[in-house]
Amino acid sequence: MNYRKLLMLCLALTAVCFLLIACPEKPEDMTPKVERLEKENAELKQTVEQLQKENDELKQQLKELAVKMEVKELQVGFVYVSPIGDAGWSYAHDKGRLFIDKMDGVTTSYVESVPEGPDSERVMLNMARKNYDLIFATSFGYMDPMLKVAKKFPQATFMHCSGFKKSENMGNYFGRMYQARYLSGIVAGAMTKNNTLGYVAAFPIPEVIRGINAFTLGAQSVNPDVQVRVVWTKTWYDPATEKEAAKSLLDVGADVIAQHQDSPGPQEAAQEKGVYSIGYNSDMSAFAPKAHLCAPVWNWGPFYAEIVEAVRNGTWESKAYWYGLENGIVDLSPMSAMVPADVQAKVMTEKEAIKEGTKKVFTGPVKDQAGQVKIAAGKTGSDGELLGMNWFVEGVIGTTQ
Protein backbone atom coordinates (compact mmCIF):
# COMPACT_ATOMS: atom_id res chain seq x y z
CA MET A 1 0.00 0.00 0.00
CA ASN A 2 1.52 3.43 -1.03
CA TYR A 3 1.50 6.41 1.23
CA ARG A 4 -1.20 8.15 -0.72
CA LYS A 5 -3.70 5.40 -0.27
CA LEU A 6 -2.78 5.12 3.38
CA LEU A 7 -3.31 8.82 3.83
CA MET A 8 -6.70 8.66 2.15
CA LEU A 9 -7.77 5.77 4.39
CA CYS A 10 -6.70 7.66 7.50
CA LEU A 11 -8.65 10.72 6.41
CA ALA A 12 -11.76 8.58 5.78
CA LEU A 13 -11.53 6.99 9.21
CA THR A 14 -11.04 10.38 10.80
CA ALA A 15 -14.17 11.63 9.08
CA VAL A 16 -16.20 8.68 10.26
CA CYS A 17 -14.98 9.20 13.83
CA PHE A 18 -15.86 12.83 13.64
CA LEU A 19 -19.34 12.03 12.45
CA LEU A 20 -19.83 9.51 15.24
CA ILE A 21 -18.68 11.98 17.87
CA ALA A 22 -20.66 14.84 16.46
CA CYS A 23 -23.90 12.85 16.06
CA PRO A 24 -24.16 10.27 18.93
CA GLU A 25 -27.20 7.77 19.00
CA LYS A 26 -29.83 8.60 21.63
CA PRO A 27 -29.94 5.76 24.30
CA GLU A 28 -33.18 3.66 24.59
CA ASP A 29 -35.55 4.59 27.50
CA MET A 30 -35.81 1.36 29.71
CA THR A 31 -38.48 2.65 32.15
CA PRO A 32 -41.48 0.97 30.45
CA LYS A 33 -39.66 -2.35 30.34
CA VAL A 34 -38.75 -2.09 34.05
CA GLU A 35 -42.33 -1.17 34.99
CA ARG A 36 -43.70 -4.06 32.96
CA LEU A 37 -41.30 -6.51 34.59
CA GLU A 38 -42.15 -5.21 38.06
CA LYS A 39 -45.86 -5.63 37.33
CA GLU A 40 -45.34 -9.15 36.03
CA ASN A 41 -43.26 -9.97 39.12
CA ALA A 42 -45.99 -8.68 41.45
CA GLU A 43 -48.61 -10.73 39.61
CA LEU A 44 -46.41 -13.79 39.81
CA LYS A 45 -45.89 -13.25 43.52
CA GLN A 46 -49.65 -12.93 44.06
CA THR A 47 -50.22 -16.13 42.10
CA VAL A 48 -47.64 -17.96 44.22
CA GLU A 49 -49.30 -16.71 47.42
CA GLN A 50 -52.73 -17.85 46.22
CA LEU A 51 -51.37 -21.27 45.30
CA GLN A 52 -49.73 -21.51 48.72
CA LYS A 53 -53.03 -20.65 50.42
CA GLU A 54 -54.91 -23.23 48.35
CA ASN A 55 -52.23 -25.78 49.16
CA ASP A 56 -52.58 -25.09 52.91
CA GLU A 57 -56.37 -25.42 52.67
CA LEU A 58 -56.02 -28.70 50.82
CA LYS A 59 -53.64 -30.00 53.47
CA GLN A 60 -56.16 -29.09 56.20
CA GLN A 61 -58.98 -30.79 54.32
CA LEU A 62 -56.88 -33.91 53.88
CA LYS A 63 -56.01 -33.84 57.58
CA GLU A 64 -59.66 -33.55 58.58
CA LEU A 65 -60.60 -36.31 56.17
CA ALA A 66 -57.91 -38.53 57.65
CA VAL A 67 -59.25 -37.87 61.16
CA LYS A 68 -62.77 -38.74 60.04
CA MET A 69 -61.53 -41.92 58.43
CA GLU A 70 -59.84 -42.85 61.70
CA VAL A 71 -62.97 -42.12 63.81
CA LYS A 72 -64.47 -45.34 65.07
CA GLU A 73 -68.11 -45.67 64.14
CA LEU A 74 -70.28 -46.12 67.24
CA GLN A 75 -73.85 -47.29 67.51
CA VAL A 76 -75.37 -46.01 70.74
CA GLY A 77 -78.70 -47.06 72.26
CA PHE A 78 -80.89 -45.44 74.93
CA VAL A 79 -83.66 -47.00 77.01
CA TYR A 80 -86.27 -44.65 78.55
CA VAL A 81 -88.79 -45.44 81.26
CA SER A 82 -91.36 -42.87 80.11
CA PRO A 83 -92.43 -41.11 76.92
CA ILE A 84 -90.02 -38.41 75.74
CA GLY A 85 -92.79 -35.80 75.53
CA ASP A 86 -92.02 -32.12 76.03
CA ALA A 87 -90.59 -32.17 79.54
CA GLY A 88 -89.32 -34.43 82.28
CA TRP A 89 -86.72 -37.14 82.88
CA SER A 90 -86.77 -38.94 79.53
CA TYR A 91 -87.05 -35.64 77.68
CA ALA A 92 -83.84 -34.43 79.37
CA HIS A 93 -82.00 -37.66 78.49
CA ASP A 94 -83.19 -37.48 74.90
CA LYS A 95 -81.79 -33.96 74.59
CA GLY A 96 -78.48 -35.54 75.59
CA ARG A 97 -78.92 -38.22 72.93
CA LEU A 98 -79.56 -35.59 70.27
CA PHE A 99 -76.39 -33.81 71.43
CA ILE A 100 -74.17 -36.82 70.66
CA ASP A 101 -76.14 -37.73 67.55
CA LYS A 102 -74.44 -34.74 65.90
CA MET A 103 -70.97 -36.14 66.58
CA ASP A 104 -68.97 -37.62 63.69
CA GLY A 105 -69.30 -41.36 63.46
CA VAL A 106 -72.09 -41.64 66.05
CA THR A 107 -75.49 -43.18 65.32
CA THR A 108 -78.10 -43.24 68.08
CA SER A 109 -81.50 -44.82 68.62
CA TYR A 110 -83.86 -45.18 71.55
CA VAL A 111 -86.83 -47.08 72.92
CA GLU A 112 -89.22 -45.13 75.16
CA SER A 113 -91.85 -46.12 77.74
CA VAL A 114 -90.00 -49.32 78.69
CA PRO A 115 -91.23 -50.79 82.02
CA GLU A 116 -88.62 -51.73 84.58
CA GLY A 117 -88.03 -55.47 84.83
CA PRO A 118 -88.14 -58.20 82.15
CA ASP A 119 -89.27 -55.82 79.39
CA SER A 120 -86.18 -53.68 79.83
CA GLU A 121 -83.94 -56.76 79.67
CA ARG A 122 -85.55 -57.73 76.38
CA VAL A 123 -84.97 -54.26 74.90
CA MET A 124 -81.32 -54.16 75.96
CA LEU A 125 -80.75 -57.72 74.78
CA ASN A 126 -82.13 -56.78 71.39
CA MET A 127 -79.74 -53.81 71.14
CA ALA A 128 -76.76 -55.92 72.15
CA ARG A 129 -77.61 -58.58 69.57
CA LYS A 130 -77.65 -55.87 66.93
CA ASN A 131 -74.03 -55.07 67.88
CA TYR A 132 -74.65 -51.78 69.64
CA ASP A 133 -71.33 -50.52 70.98
CA LEU A 134 -72.71 -48.51 73.89
CA ILE A 135 -76.05 -48.74 75.72
CA PHE A 136 -77.45 -46.27 78.25
CA ALA A 137 -80.25 -47.46 80.55
CA THR A 138 -81.84 -44.44 82.21
CA SER A 139 -83.91 -45.73 85.11
CA PHE A 140 -83.04 -47.25 88.50
CA GLY A 141 -85.07 -50.41 87.87
CA TYR A 142 -83.01 -51.24 84.79
CA MET A 143 -79.95 -52.01 86.91
CA ASP A 144 -80.21 -55.78 87.38
CA PRO A 145 -81.51 -56.45 83.85
CA MET A 146 -78.59 -54.47 82.40
CA LEU A 147 -76.12 -56.38 84.57
CA LYS A 148 -77.43 -59.67 83.15
CA VAL A 149 -77.19 -58.46 79.55
CA ALA A 150 -73.72 -56.95 80.09
CA LYS A 151 -72.34 -60.32 81.21
CA LYS A 152 -73.56 -61.93 77.97
CA PHE A 153 -72.00 -59.27 75.70
CA PRO A 154 -68.51 -58.40 77.01
CA GLN A 155 -67.56 -56.61 73.79
CA ALA A 156 -70.18 -53.87 74.39
CA THR A 157 -70.13 -51.08 76.97
CA PHE A 158 -73.11 -50.56 79.30
CA MET A 159 -73.95 -47.51 81.42
CA HIS A 160 -76.70 -47.50 84.03
CA CYS A 161 -78.17 -44.26 85.35
CA SER A 162 -78.86 -43.78 89.10
CA GLY A 163 -77.84 -47.27 90.21
CA PHE A 164 -74.85 -48.59 92.12
CA LYS A 165 -73.84 -51.92 90.54
CA LYS A 166 -70.92 -52.34 88.15
CA SER A 167 -69.17 -55.07 86.17
CA GLU A 168 -66.13 -55.18 83.91
CA ASN A 169 -68.07 -53.65 81.01
CA MET A 170 -70.80 -51.85 82.95
CA GLY A 171 -70.53 -48.58 84.84
CA ASN A 172 -73.07 -46.33 86.51
CA TYR A 173 -73.66 -42.61 86.45
CA PHE A 174 -75.75 -39.89 87.98
CA GLY A 175 -75.55 -36.23 88.88
CA ARG A 176 -75.46 -34.52 92.23
CA MET A 177 -79.03 -33.35 91.79
CA TYR A 178 -79.27 -32.81 95.52
CA GLN A 179 -77.24 -29.63 94.96
CA ALA A 180 -79.89 -28.15 92.67
CA ARG A 181 -82.60 -29.50 95.01
CA TYR A 182 -81.05 -27.48 97.82
CA LEU A 183 -81.22 -24.32 95.71
CA SER A 184 -84.86 -24.95 94.81
CA GLY A 185 -85.56 -25.46 98.53
CA ILE A 186 -84.27 -21.95 99.21
CA VAL A 187 -86.82 -20.61 96.73
CA ALA A 188 -89.64 -22.66 98.23
CA GLY A 189 -88.76 -21.75 101.80
CA ALA A 190 -88.74 -18.08 100.93
CA MET A 191 -92.04 -18.19 99.03
CA THR A 192 -94.24 -20.21 101.40
CA LYS A 193 -96.72 -18.24 103.47
CA ASN A 194 -97.82 -20.95 105.90
CA ASN A 195 -94.50 -22.83 106.25
CA THR A 196 -95.85 -26.04 104.68
CA LEU A 197 -94.25 -27.43 101.55
CA GLY A 198 -95.56 -30.47 99.70
CA TYR A 199 -93.33 -33.04 97.99
CA VAL A 200 -94.77 -35.54 95.51
CA ALA A 201 -92.15 -38.31 95.78
CA ALA A 202 -91.56 -41.19 93.36
CA PHE A 203 -90.01 -44.29 94.97
CA PRO A 204 -88.43 -44.59 98.46
CA ILE A 205 -84.87 -45.08 97.22
CA PRO A 206 -81.74 -43.16 98.28
CA GLU A 207 -81.80 -40.94 95.19
CA VAL A 208 -85.27 -39.62 96.02
CA ILE A 209 -84.77 -39.48 99.80
CA ARG A 210 -81.52 -37.57 99.31
CA GLY A 211 -83.31 -35.04 97.12
CA ILE A 212 -86.10 -34.51 99.65
CA ASN A 213 -83.57 -33.98 102.43
CA ALA A 214 -81.55 -31.48 100.38
CA PHE A 215 -84.73 -29.60 99.44
CA THR A 216 -85.70 -29.44 103.12
CA LEU A 217 -82.28 -28.21 104.23
CA GLY A 218 -82.37 -25.49 101.58
CA ALA A 219 -85.82 -24.35 102.71
CA GLN A 220 -84.76 -24.39 106.37
CA SER A 221 -81.68 -22.27 105.58
CA VAL A 222 -83.98 -19.29 104.91
CA ASN A 223 -87.02 -20.39 106.95
CA PRO A 224 -86.23 -22.51 110.04
CA ASP A 225 -89.94 -23.09 110.76
CA VAL A 226 -90.75 -24.75 107.45
CA GLN A 227 -91.98 -28.35 107.19
CA VAL A 228 -91.99 -30.63 104.16
CA ARG A 229 -94.85 -33.12 103.79
CA VAL A 230 -94.12 -36.15 101.60
CA VAL A 231 -96.52 -38.38 99.67
CA TRP A 232 -95.23 -41.42 97.73
CA THR A 233 -96.76 -42.31 94.37
CA LYS A 234 -94.50 -45.29 93.54
CA THR A 235 -94.44 -44.00 89.94
CA TRP A 236 -92.01 -42.34 87.56
CA TYR A 237 -94.62 -41.26 85.07
CA ASP A 238 -98.33 -41.35 85.82
CA PRO A 239 -99.85 -37.90 85.29
CA ALA A 240 -103.19 -38.68 86.94
CA THR A 241 -101.72 -40.34 90.03
CA GLU A 242 -99.10 -37.64 90.49
CA LYS A 243 -101.64 -34.85 90.13
CA GLU A 244 -103.91 -36.47 92.71
CA ALA A 245 -100.98 -36.84 95.11
CA ALA A 246 -100.30 -33.12 94.75
CA LYS A 247 -103.93 -32.33 95.47
CA SER A 248 -103.77 -34.38 98.69
CA LEU A 249 -100.85 -32.22 99.82
CA LEU A 250 -102.69 -29.04 98.88
CA ASP A 251 -105.63 -30.23 101.00
CA VAL A 252 -103.42 -30.29 104.12
CA GLY A 253 -102.19 -26.75 103.57
CA ALA A 254 -99.11 -27.02 101.36
CA ASP A 255 -98.68 -23.81 99.37
CA VAL A 256 -95.58 -24.83 97.39
CA ILE A 257 -95.52 -28.20 95.59
CA ALA A 258 -92.29 -29.98 94.55
CA GLN A 259 -91.99 -33.32 92.75
CA HIS A 260 -89.74 -36.17 91.59
CA GLN A 261 -91.60 -37.51 88.55
CA ASP A 262 -91.72 -36.87 84.82
CA SER A 263 -95.22 -35.53 84.38
CA PRO A 264 -96.29 -31.92 84.93
CA GLY A 265 -99.36 -33.13 86.87
CA PRO A 266 -98.22 -31.67 90.22
CA GLN A 267 -97.45 -28.35 88.53
CA GLU A 268 -100.93 -28.21 87.05
CA ALA A 269 -102.52 -29.03 90.41
CA ALA A 270 -100.63 -26.19 92.07
CA GLN A 271 -101.68 -23.68 89.43
CA GLU A 272 -105.30 -24.76 89.64
CA LYS A 273 -105.16 -24.17 93.41
CA GLY A 274 -103.48 -20.78 92.98
CA VAL A 275 -100.24 -21.69 94.79
CA TYR A 276 -96.61 -22.14 93.76
CA SER A 277 -94.71 -25.12 92.36
CA ILE A 278 -91.16 -26.40 91.84
CA GLY A 279 -90.63 -28.55 88.74
CA TYR A 280 -88.08 -31.26 88.04
CA ASN A 281 -85.89 -32.69 85.27
CA SER A 282 -86.55 -29.85 82.84
CA ASP A 283 -88.11 -26.39 82.88
CA MET A 284 -91.85 -27.01 83.35
CA SER A 285 -92.95 -23.39 83.33
CA ALA A 286 -94.90 -23.85 80.08
CA PHE A 287 -97.33 -26.19 81.88
CA ALA A 288 -98.02 -23.92 84.85
CA PRO A 289 -96.70 -20.41 84.15
CA LYS A 290 -98.61 -18.87 87.05
CA ALA A 291 -97.26 -21.38 89.59
CA HIS A 292 -93.83 -22.57 88.42
CA LEU A 293 -91.00 -20.86 90.34
CA CYS A 294 -88.01 -22.88 89.09
CA ALA A 295 -86.87 -26.47 88.55
CA PRO A 296 -83.76 -28.54 89.24
CA VAL A 297 -82.77 -29.62 85.71
CA TRP A 298 -80.45 -32.01 83.89
CA ASN A 299 -77.97 -31.33 81.09
CA TRP A 300 -76.77 -34.75 79.91
CA GLY A 301 -75.24 -33.81 76.54
CA PRO A 302 -71.62 -33.05 77.55
CA PHE A 303 -71.48 -36.11 79.81
CA TYR A 304 -72.76 -38.43 77.09
CA ALA A 305 -70.20 -36.95 74.69
CA GLU A 306 -67.46 -37.63 77.25
CA ILE A 307 -68.47 -41.29 77.56
CA VAL A 308 -68.71 -41.73 73.77
CA GLU A 309 -65.18 -40.40 73.29
CA ALA A 310 -63.84 -42.54 76.12
CA VAL A 311 -65.35 -45.69 74.60
CA ARG A 312 -64.09 -44.74 71.17
CA ASN A 313 -60.49 -44.10 72.22
CA GLY A 314 -60.30 -46.97 74.69
CA THR A 315 -60.04 -44.93 77.90
CA TRP A 316 -63.49 -45.79 79.30
CA GLU A 317 -63.46 -47.16 82.86
CA SER A 318 -66.06 -49.13 84.74
CA LYS A 319 -66.74 -46.81 87.66
CA ALA A 320 -69.37 -44.59 89.26
CA TYR A 321 -69.59 -41.18 87.57
CA TRP A 322 -71.18 -38.58 89.88
CA TYR A 323 -70.88 -35.02 88.61
CA GLY A 324 -72.42 -31.85 90.00
CA LEU A 325 -73.07 -28.17 89.41
CA GLU A 326 -69.40 -27.55 88.67
CA ASN A 327 -69.61 -29.87 85.63
CA GLY A 328 -72.93 -28.49 84.42
CA ILE A 329 -74.68 -31.86 84.47
CA VAL A 330 -77.20 -30.47 86.99
CA ASP A 331 -78.49 -26.94 87.30
CA LEU A 332 -81.42 -24.77 88.32
CA SER A 333 -83.69 -23.47 85.59
CA PRO A 334 -84.17 -19.69 85.28
CA MET A 335 -86.24 -18.46 88.20
CA SER A 336 -89.66 -16.93 87.63
CA ALA A 337 -90.19 -13.19 87.93
CA MET A 338 -92.45 -14.13 90.86
CA VAL A 339 -89.31 -14.87 92.88
CA PRO A 340 -88.10 -11.63 94.56
CA ALA A 341 -84.72 -10.26 93.48
CA ASP A 342 -83.15 -10.72 96.93
CA VAL A 343 -84.17 -14.39 96.96
CA GLN A 344 -82.74 -14.90 93.47
CA ALA A 345 -79.50 -13.24 94.58
CA LYS A 346 -79.31 -15.56 97.61
CA VAL A 347 -79.78 -18.60 95.37
CA MET A 348 -77.07 -17.49 92.95
CA THR A 349 -74.63 -16.85 95.80
CA GLU A 350 -75.21 -20.32 97.20
CA LYS A 351 -74.94 -21.83 93.74
CA GLU A 352 -71.50 -20.33 93.20
CA ALA A 353 -70.36 -21.47 96.64
CA ILE A 354 -71.42 -25.04 95.86
CA LYS A 355 -69.67 -24.95 92.48
CA GLU A 356 -66.48 -23.65 94.10
CA GLY A 357 -66.63 -26.30 96.82
CA THR A 358 -66.88 -23.84 99.71
CA LYS A 359 -70.47 -24.92 100.41
CA LYS A 360 -71.47 -28.54 101.08
CA VAL A 361 -75.17 -29.30 101.27
CA PHE A 362 -74.93 -32.06 103.86
CA THR A 363 -72.71 -30.40 106.45
CA GLY A 364 -73.43 -31.10 110.12
CA PRO A 365 -75.06 -30.89 112.42
CA VAL A 366 -77.80 -32.71 110.51
CA LYS A 367 -80.46 -34.53 112.52
CA ASP A 368 -83.01 -37.11 111.46
CA GLN A 369 -86.75 -37.01 112.14
CA ALA A 370 -86.23 -38.40 115.64
CA GLY A 371 -83.73 -35.66 116.51
CA GLN A 372 -80.71 -37.94 116.40
CA VAL A 373 -77.53 -36.49 114.92
CA LYS A 374 -76.73 -38.28 111.66
CA ILE A 375 -73.95 -35.96 110.50
CA ALA A 376 -71.93 -34.37 113.29
CA ALA A 377 -71.18 -30.66 113.52
CA GLY A 378 -68.27 -29.70 111.30
CA LYS A 379 -68.50 -32.96 109.36
CA THR A 380 -69.71 -33.49 105.80
CA GLY A 381 -71.63 -36.52 104.63
CA SER A 382 -69.43 -38.83 102.55
CA ASP A 383 -70.46 -39.98 99.09
CA GLY A 384 -71.08 -43.44 100.52
CA GLU A 385 -73.40 -42.04 103.17
CA LEU A 386 -75.28 -39.94 100.62
CA LEU A 387 -75.61 -42.79 98.12
CA GLY A 388 -77.07 -45.04 100.84
CA MET A 389 -79.26 -42.39 102.50
CA ASN A 390 -82.43 -44.01 103.83
CA TRP A 391 -83.54 -41.55 106.51
CA PHE A 392 -85.32 -38.20 106.50
CA VAL A 393 -83.91 -35.03 108.03
CA GLU A 394 -85.67 -33.22 110.83
CA GLY A 395 -88.57 -31.21 109.47
CA VAL A 396 -89.82 -33.82 106.97
CA ILE A 397 -93.29 -35.22 107.67
CA GLY A 398 -93.67 -38.69 106.20
CA THR A 399 -91.98 -42.09 106.14
CA THR A 400 -89.19 -43.56 104.02
CA GLN A 401 -91.35 -46.54 103.11
CATH code at position 107: 3.40.50.2300
> Is the predicted pLDDT of residue 11 greater than 70, yes or no?
no
Express each pLDDT in 243-270 by its tens digit.
999 999 999 999 999 999 999 999 999 9
**Is residue 220 domain-shared with residue 246, that is, in the same domain?**
yes
Q: Which whole number is the average pLDDT over 113-139? A: 97
Element counts in the chain: helices (H) and strands (E) = 12, 16
**Is residue 258 domain-shared with residue 391, that is, in the same domain?**
yes
50 inside domain: no
Reported confidence tier of residue 64, pLDDT bands at 50, 70, 90:
low
Dihedral angle sign, alpha carbons of residues 189, 192, 194, 196? negative
**Is residue 161 domain-shared with residue 278, that is, in the same domain?**
no
Write out the E strands in 202-260: 227-232, 256-259
**Is residue 245 domain-shared with residue 275, that is, in the same domain?**
yes
Q: What is the pLDDT, as a whole number, of residue 118?
A: 94
Residue 347 to residue 222: CA distance in whole angstroms: 10
User: In total, how many domains does the chain have?
Assistant: 2
49 inside domain: no
- Tell me which of 43-57, 117-131, 152-166, 332-346 is least confident: 43-57
**Is residue 363 domain-shared with residue 258, that is, in the same domain?**
yes
> Is the predicted pLDDT of residue 20 greater than 70, yes or no?
no
> Is the predicted pLDDT of residue 69 greater than 70, yes or no?
no
Express each pLDDT in 167-194 by its tens digit.
999 999 999 999 999 999 999 999 999 9
Express each pLDDT in 111-121 by its tens digit.
999 999 999 99
Range of the domain at 306: 71-175+301-325
**Is residue 123 domain-shared with residue 197, that is, in the same domain?**
no
**Is residue 280 domain-shared with residue 375, that is, in the same domain?**
yes
Q: How far is CA 174 from the centre of its chain?
A: 12
57 inside domain: no
**Is residue 320 domain-shared with residue 355, that is, in the same domain?**
no
**Above pLDDT 90, what percent of the chain?**
81
389 inside domain: yes
Reported confidence tier of residue 90, pLDDT bands at 50, 70, 90:
very high
Between 331 and 27, name the one with better pLDDT: 331
Q: What is the mean pLDDT of the chain?
A: 91
37 inside domain: no
284 inside domain: yes
**Is residue 163 domain-shared with residue 284, that is, in the same domain?**
no
33 inside domain: no
Residue 94, Cβ density class (10 Å: 0-12 exposed, 13-18 middle, ≥19 buried): buried
22 inside domain: no
**Is residue 237 domain-shared with residue 342, that is, in the same domain?**
yes
Q: What is the pLDDT, as a whole number, of residue 10?
A: 55
Q: Which helix (H) or strand (E) holds 341?
A: helix 341-356
Asked whether 192 and 249 are in contact (CB, 8 A), the reply is no
Pairing of strands 296-298, 157-161: unpaired
